[in-house]
């Protein structure tokens, strides 16, 4: 049953992520992205990682995407006032796209079907175990990443401050 | 600008104290004020069932009066219609027949007497103009209705009910 | 997963859904009555005895009204908005423990739909999703006022979520678990969390007011500035859904506050009652107590609404970012230090 649910949800993940790219209206794109994140949440639950699922739910769906939507709603989307790009930009874009395709094809060729990941401890995703892992062996990276986020925050505040002339 | 009078009062605005800036004591105070109102008597009067008492000189719906013997007092002189600033009153006069002596006091009476309640401003001038003391604005509030034609009150609604005490 | 289990959960979900809708319905009535009593009036008293059927009449009115979708609105999203608001309001009830386990025959039935071990975070996530209904509806209306209101709602929700999360963290330091069931069980009798976390509760309740868009933080529906706010363009039952969602949100947040800080279905002297009332009625008395707490909170919500004037928008942001967040952080630090000291000695 687990596998069939996985394939069911995975199909939706792929469909929604494609819709993110293909929808013309940026707001629709963001809404599809939210749905994609929701399917990810379901994946986490299937992997028995409840904490990660809920945090993905709160942080990505509940906070970050709200901010995305927030910004996009302020744009005037009814008019097609997107400035025409110069030929130079188009050529660069084509080259970049081709590079991406080549890389993707190459990496797809290189991959083999990997064995399904079997966790040694299936309850690793539960709250207590995750906390013990994070504050035990992974203490240093965890704290470093928090400092990184703090730095980013301070930087953002500094950017908004007006310079005193 | 130079002040014109010496009455100007300088208001002193002190910075808020910590307790005031916390805002919570003020909220609690406000909450206690509102909760105290739960126990106060409500000011509502449930209108159709209960009615507020009118003042003694309240002017409401008109009524056409009868005399002691139950005869209509109105003689259709038309002074009320003449005095009406809103031109709300119309009437058609008729001559009293011999057998109608019990119904009408004077020899001339109003066969039709209509007041348009949408035009009436309840000024009471008809009451003052009437020489026969036949019309008084002593009724209740004129009720609401759906159609304009229903606001034209005829004698059926205006004439006072006959007194039954002589029976 | 046997059939009996599925049926049991299905019945429980149906009952909880029905109760939350009923309470939301009568909250509209209670709101008008409370407002009236606080203002020396009577409130609705025409439909039925004491106006008890007023919500039914209002609901019927909502259904019968003409449905208007603005020409330039985004039709699909315009319809999704109210539905999403309603959905996010309703699913919060899933993890709230409504009572201790009831014994029917041989079967022990927990009065909780599901006890996930991250219950608090689930509620928190649902609350943070709640703003999408408002945002999508406001944007899809293609109306300046609706859009402004949607943006206000979003920024308000994000700002107050942070302080709310921090106040919950302090609570988690005390309880050591995220499962709502365990949190309630810990508060047996008189051991309510409000005793340990008064400041945290204060922050939480202020944030709850902001998250449910209730006065004094109802800036998204500020009539003086934004006409009707995000539901300016809505009519008929879509409008009804938005109004309804607000009351369900209020009910859920009242239930969460009662669960987290006021002991859920615990009350002093419950052991004696449980012993004497038997395995079926004992827990149900606890549930009744729980609902009394919820109603008290709902009354408090209304009481505040008819007392305090609306905040200005900059005051709202100032309170959220410069007052509540530092206070919440201080609360976390103090709680942590105190717990560390207690564990040391």
pLDDT, tens only, C330-343 = 999 998 898 888 88
Mutate to test the interface with A, among C118, C131, C146, C160 (most CBs of A within 10 A): C118
Chain C CB within 8 Å of residue B41 CB? yes
pLDDT at C84: 87
Backbone angles phi, psi at C125, to 5 degrees: -65, -45
Contact C304, C209 (CB under 8 A): yes
Contact C125 A57 (CB under 8 A): yes
Average pLDDT over residues A58-87: 73
Q: Between A120 and C112, whose confidence is greater? A: C112
> Under an 8 A CB cutoff, do C124 and A58 touch?
yes
| Gap between the Cα atoms of C166 and C305, Å rounded | 25
Tell me which residues of chain B, numbers 64 to 103, contact chain C at a CB-CB cutoff of 8 Å: none
In the structure, what pLDDT confidence band is assigned to residue C135 with cuts at 50, 70 and 90? confident
C131: nearest CB among A58, A66, A74: A66
Q: From chain B, pick out residues whose CB is under 8 angstroms from the CB of C307.
A: 27, 30-31, 33-34
Partners of B16 on chain C (C-beta within 8 Å) are: none
Q: Higher model confidence: residue B126 or residue A45? A: B126
**Residue spans of beta strands (DSSP E) within chain A:** none
CA–CA gap between residue C43 and residue C306 (Å, rounded)? 14
Q: What pLDDT does A144 receive? A: 92
Mean pLDDT of A51-76: 80
Given a cut of 70, is residue A77 above it in pLDDT? no
Q: pLDDT, tens digit, for every residue of C78-107?
A: 888 888 888 888 888 888 888 777 777 677
Question: Could you tell me where the DSSP H helices lie in chain B?
Answer: 18-22, 24-36, 79-83, 125-129, 155-158
Residue with token string 């449910």:
C212
Numbered residues of chain C with Cβ closer than 8 Å to any chain A Cβ: 77, 116-118, 121-122, 124-125, 127-129, 131-132, 135-136, 139, 147, 150-151, 154-155, 157-158, 161, 178
User: Which has more confidence, C248 or C273?
Assistant: C248
Question: Is B105 within 8 Å of B72 (Cβ atoms)?
Answer: yes
Q: Which CATH class is domain B63-158?
A: alpha beta
CB-CB neighbors (< 8 A) of C132 in chain A: 34, 66, 69
For residue C83, the chain A residues in CB contact (below 8 A) are none
Chain A residues 60-89 within an 8 A CB cutoff of chain C: 61-63, 66-67, 69-70, 73-74
Mean pLDDT of C124-145: 84
B84 marked among binding-site residues: yes
Q: Is A135 on the interface with C (CB under 8 A)?
A: no
User: Which residues does chain B have within 8 Å of residue C301's beta carbon, measured at their own beta carbons?
Assistant: none
Confidence of residue A118 (pLDDT cuts 50, 70, 90): low
Q: Residue C154 is nearest to which of A54, A55, A70, comparing CB atoms?
A: A70
**pLDDT mean across residues, chain B:** 85
pLDDT confidence of residue A152: 93
- Which residue is closest to C39 within chain B, CA to CA? B37
pLDDT at B15: 79
* Mean pLDDT of chain C, nearest integer: 84
Cβ-count burial B61-90 (b if 16+ within 10 Å, e if not): bbbbbbeeebbbbbbbbebbbebbeeebbe
Which tens digits make up the pLDDT trace of C173-187? 888 888 888 888 888
How many Cα atoms within 13 Å fall on the side-chain side of residue A43?
15
- Chain B residues with CB under 8 Å of C39 CB are 37
pLDDT for A15 beyond 70: yes
Most confident of A96-110, A117-131, C110-124: A96-110
Does the annotation flag B123 for ligand binding?
A: yes
Helix, strand, coil fractions of chain C, as percent rounded to 5? 75, 5, 25
Domain ranges of chain B: 63-158
The CB density around residue C257, as the number of other CB atoms within 10 Å, is 20
Q: With contacts defined as CB-CB under 8 Å, which chain C residues touch B34?
A: 38, 303, 306-307
Q: Over pLDDT 90: what percentage of chain C?
A: 1
Q: Is B8 on the interface with C (CB under 8 A)?
A: no
For residue C109 the two structure tokens come to 């039935």
Q: Residue B43 and residue C38: Cβ atoms within 8 Å?
A: no
Query: Residue A84 — pLDDT band, cuts 50, 70, 90?
Result: low
Q: What whole-number distance in Å separates Cα of residue C319 and Cα of residue A42?
A: 36
Q: What is the pLDDT of residue B167?
A: 44
Burial of A149: CB neighbours in 10 Å, binned 0-12, 13-18, 19+: exposed
Grouping H, G, I as helix, E, B as strand and the rest as coil, residue C137 is helix
DSSP 8-state code for residue C93: G
- Contacts of C324 by beta carbon, 8 Å cutoff, 6+ apart: C160, C163, C203, C206, C207
Chain B interface disruption, residue of C31, C34, C35, C37, most B CBs within 10 A:
C37
Mean pLDDT to the nearest integer, C134-155: 85
Nearest CA-CA distance, residue C119 and chain A, Å: 9
CA separation (Å) from C183 to B78, C123, C168? Answer: 87, 14, 12
pTM (predicted TM-score): 0.80
């Amino acid at each position: 049953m687990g596998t069939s649910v996985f394939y069911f949800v995975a199909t939706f993940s792929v469909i929604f992520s494609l819709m993110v790219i293909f929808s013309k209206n940026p707001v629709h794109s963001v809404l599809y992205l939210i749905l994609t994140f929701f399917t990810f949440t379901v994946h986490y639950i299937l992997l028995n990682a409840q904490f990660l699922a809920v945090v993905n739910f709160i942080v990505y769906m509940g906070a970050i995407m709200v901010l995305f939507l927030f910004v996009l709603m302020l744009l005037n989307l009814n008019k097609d006032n997107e400035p025409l790009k110069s030929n130079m930009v188009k050529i660069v874009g084509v080259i970049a796209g081709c590079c991406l395709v080549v890389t993707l094809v190459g990496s797809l060729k290189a991959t083999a079907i990997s064995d399904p990941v079997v966790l040694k401890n299936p309850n690793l995703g539960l709250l207590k175990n995750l906390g013990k892992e994070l504050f035990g062996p992974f203490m240093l990276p965890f704290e470093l990443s928090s400092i990184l986020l703090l730095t980013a925050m301070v930087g953002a505040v500094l950017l908004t401050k007006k310079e005193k002339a | 600008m130079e002040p014109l009078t010496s009455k100007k009062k300088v208001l002193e605005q002190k910075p808020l104290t910590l307790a005031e800036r916390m805002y919570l004591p003020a909220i609690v105070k406000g909450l206690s004020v509102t909760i105290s109102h739960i126990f106060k008597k409500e000011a509502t009067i449930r209108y159709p069932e209960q009615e507020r008492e009118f003042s003694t000189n309240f002017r409401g719906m008109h009524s056409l009066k009868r005399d002691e013997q139950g005869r209509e007092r109105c003689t259709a002189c038309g002074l009320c219609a003449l005095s009406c600033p809103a031109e709300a009153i119309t009437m058609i006069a008729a001559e009293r027949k011999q057998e109608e002596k019990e119904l009408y006091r004077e020899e001339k009476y109003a066969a039709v007497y209509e007041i348009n309640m949408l035009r009436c401003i309840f000024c009471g001038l008809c009451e003052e103009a009437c020489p026969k003391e036949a019309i008084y604005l002593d009724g209740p509030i004129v009720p609401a209705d759906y159609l304009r034609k229903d606001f034209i009150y005829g004698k059926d609604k205006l004439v006072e009910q006959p007194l039954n005490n002589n029976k | 997963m046997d059939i009996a289990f599925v049926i049991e959960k299905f019945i429980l979900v149906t009952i909880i859904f029905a109760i939350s809708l009923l309470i939301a319905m009568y909250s509209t009535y209670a709101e008008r009555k409370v407002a009236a009593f606080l203002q020396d009036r009577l409130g609705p008293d025409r439909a039925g005895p004491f106006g008890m059927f007023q919500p039914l009449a209002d609901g019927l009115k909502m259904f019968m009204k003409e449905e208007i979708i603005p020409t330039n609105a985004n039709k699909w999203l315009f319809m999704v908005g109210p539905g999403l608001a309603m959905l996010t309001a309703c699913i919060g009830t899933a993890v709230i423990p409504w009572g201790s386990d009831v014994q029917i025959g041989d079967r022990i039935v927990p009065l909780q739909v599901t006890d996930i071990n991250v219950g608090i975070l689930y509620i928190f996530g649902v609350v943070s999703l709640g703003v999408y209904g408002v945002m999508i509806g406001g944007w899809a209306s293609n109306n300046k006022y609706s859009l402004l209101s949607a943006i206000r709602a979003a920024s308000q929700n994000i700002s107050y979520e942070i302080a709310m999360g921090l106040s919950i963290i302090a609570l988690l330091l005390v309880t050591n678990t995220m499962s709502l069931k365990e949190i309630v069980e810990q508060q047996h009798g008189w051991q309510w969390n409000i005793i340990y976390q008064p400041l945290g509760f204060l922050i939480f309740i202020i944030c709850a007011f902001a998250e449910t868009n209730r006065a004094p933080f109802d800036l998204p529906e500020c009539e003086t500035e934004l006409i009707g706010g995000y539901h300016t363009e809505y009519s008929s039952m879509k409008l009804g859904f938005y109004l309804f969602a607000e009351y369900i949100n209020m009910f859920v947040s009242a239930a969460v506050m009662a669960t987290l800080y006021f002991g859920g279905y615990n009350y002093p002297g419950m052991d004696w009652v449980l012993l004497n009332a038997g395995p079926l009625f004992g827990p149900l008395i606890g549930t009744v107590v729980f609902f009394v707490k919820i109603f008290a909170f709902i009354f408090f919500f209304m009481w505040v609404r008819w007392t305090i004037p609306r905040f200005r928008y900059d005051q709202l942001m100032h309170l959220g970012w410069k007052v509540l967040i530092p206070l919440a952080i201080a609360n976390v630090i103090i709680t942590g230090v105190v717990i560390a000291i207690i564990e040391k000695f």
